[in-house]
Structure formats: structure tokens, C-alpha cells
Amino acid sequence: MTDQHIIVTGGAGFIGSHIAERLLSDGHHVTVIDNFDSFYSRSQKEQNLVRCKTSPNFNLIELDILDAEGLENKLTRSYDGIIHLAAKAGVRPSILNPVAYQQTNVSGTQNMLEFARKKNIKQFVFASSSSVYGINKNVPWSENDNLLFPISPYASTKISGELMGHVYSHLYNIRFIALRFFTVFGPRQRPDLAIHAFTKKMLNDEPIPFFGNGETRRDYTFVDDIVDGVISALHYDQTLYEIINLGNHHTVSLKEMVSTIETVTGRKAIIDQKPEQPGDVPQTYASIDKARRLLNYQPKTEFKEGVRRFFEWFSEQQKTFSP
């Protein structure tokens, strides 16, 4: 179905801007809400939206999702769906500032659900996270696994969002699809995330922080594959409430990740060995059987190819913003 009007919260960010572009190319109208949080530079977020701003079907509203009154006053059109990505991101920063994470990620999500209820928006896609699984030795991780033991404030806020979604789905027949993202990477990746940060340091001959023994593993998922899953979830029309993993169903160790960046960039990493970080899990590994079944989801991008495409974008960015 085309020509729907979709709200994308956090749409100036890494994943959100890719989703907004895809929606526009598919013939939809898109309203992006973003508060341009100072977690990283506004200039990168503005750059993320350059292509979107060329479309007459694109609208950008600078707004914090904690501003419930602003949501009602500024979003006055009729909308067909919400893709809710806006959140304070990151496990480690959430340990330093848990109250702010609770406010934005829980109260902000509540505001968006209330907005959906009042505006009679019946399709709500929520960006959850693989961090909700905590330390779970039962791999690959399934959506049916027990989530009683998150190990970071960030993870607990994402579980809260999933639970709130169930309440609104049950009470108000809002179709709520929670997508648990697994270590998304690719062009426009946030500068704090490992592949981006390591690449920059390696090119500058700076040491990279290497936590633990290098055996921690992540299920890296290329952003285009995540976008495919999100768009499928937006158009999913069967059950009213689902939680679905979006991963690559393939794990890469920290050592392998660094080695791949070395191969792609042609530079050698300088290792700064550090102890394991509080809140980090030994591995993430997604079962994607449910995503395949319900969303026809099939990740296509191998890790090395994804890193190569990230590096192409990174190199272009360096040219654009260098003095």
C-alpha cells in the first residue's frame, strides 16, 4: 500500500533517516520528529536528511517526544502509522544517566502511544533492542526467552516499551510490533558505535579501546536489512501484538571485527587493552525464524561487505567535512 502518511520519530538519526528515505521512495508521505539530541553532532543528523528534504512528501518537525502538548499542537494531520525510533541510545551511557533514559525511553514512548490512541493511528512499530535478553546462554536468542534479568537501564527501558505496547494493543486495538534490533551498522552509523569509532581511530593512528579478551561476539546487522524488516512490520496486518527479532543470525567476535576493519581500510589497529565493561553481554545472537515467517525477512548483506559500504560513506564524509 502506497501514499500513506507515516510518522518516524528519531528520523534524523542513523536508522531513522534510512527508513524515511525508503518510505519516500515507496511513495509514502513522511513526517520526521527529532529533537536533535546533543548525543552527537547536529550537522551529521542534518546531513542524514539531505535526500529526504528534496521530496515534496517530506516534513520535518523539531520536537521532543516528552512534549506531549507539542505533539498534539504540531502534528495535526491524519496519519496511518508510527515508526517509533526516538530514544536515548546506548548501554554504557544509560548506566551513567539512568533517570534521563527512563524519562525519554519510557515516558516518551508512553506519549507516542497516547498520541496514537487520540489520533486513532492503528499501526505502531517500536524499535526495541537485543539488549533486553541480558546474559542469556541459550543461543540463538528467541522471542520466547525469559526477560526477567536485564543488566542495564537501557535494556530495562526497552522492555518497558514492549510491555506498554501490549497494554495499548489490548485496550485500544493498536497493532504494536516490537522489533528487537541486533547491533545495526552501516552508512550514517553513530560516531560512538564501535565500527565507526574504531575506523576513525585507526585512520588517525590512535589506539582503540579493546574491552576484554576480544572473544565477545555480536550479531551485526546491516542497516538496509533492518530497514527491510521495519517496512515489512509497518505493513504487517495479521495479529495485533508481536515481538520480533531483526538480526543477521551470524555472530562476529571483537577480534574478527577489528581484523575486518583492518582489511577494508588497509590500516593496522593499535590495541588499548581494557577490562570488560559493566552492562555488556558476552554475545548477542538472533533467532530470525519468526521474522522470516511473519515478515518474509531475509538479511542479505555479509559483514565484510557491510563494513566496506560503511567505509565508503565514512570516506566521503571525511571529504565533505574536512577543512
Residue 154 bears catalytic tag: yes
Host domain of residue 100: 5-185+221-249+285-299
- Whether residue 96 is contained in a domain is answered as yes
Asked whether the predicted pLDDT for residue 32 surpasses 70, the reply is: yes
Specify the pLDDT at position 263.
97
> Distance (Å, rounded) from C-alpha 281 to C-alpha 277?
9
Q: Which one from 154, 168, 220, 285 is the annotated catalytic residue?
A: 154
- Whether residue 264 is contained in a domain is answered as no
Please report, for the domain that includes residue 107, its CATH number. 3.40.50.720
Asked whether the predicted pLDDT for residue 222 surpasses 60, the reply is: yes
Region 230-239: what's the mean pLDDT? 97
- Whether residue 100 is contained in a domain is answered as yes
Q: Where is pLDDT greater, at 34 or 3?
A: 34
> Distance (Å, rounded) from C-alpha 80 to C-alpha 122?
7
Specify the pLDDT at position 320.
63
pTM of this prediction?
A: 0.94
Count how many domains the chain has: 1
DSSP string over 157-187 = HHHHHHHHHHHHHHHH--EEEEEEE--EEST
Helices (H), the chain: 14-25, 42-48, 68-74, 91-96, 98-102, 108-119, 153-172, 194-203, 223-234, 254-265, 289-295, 303-321
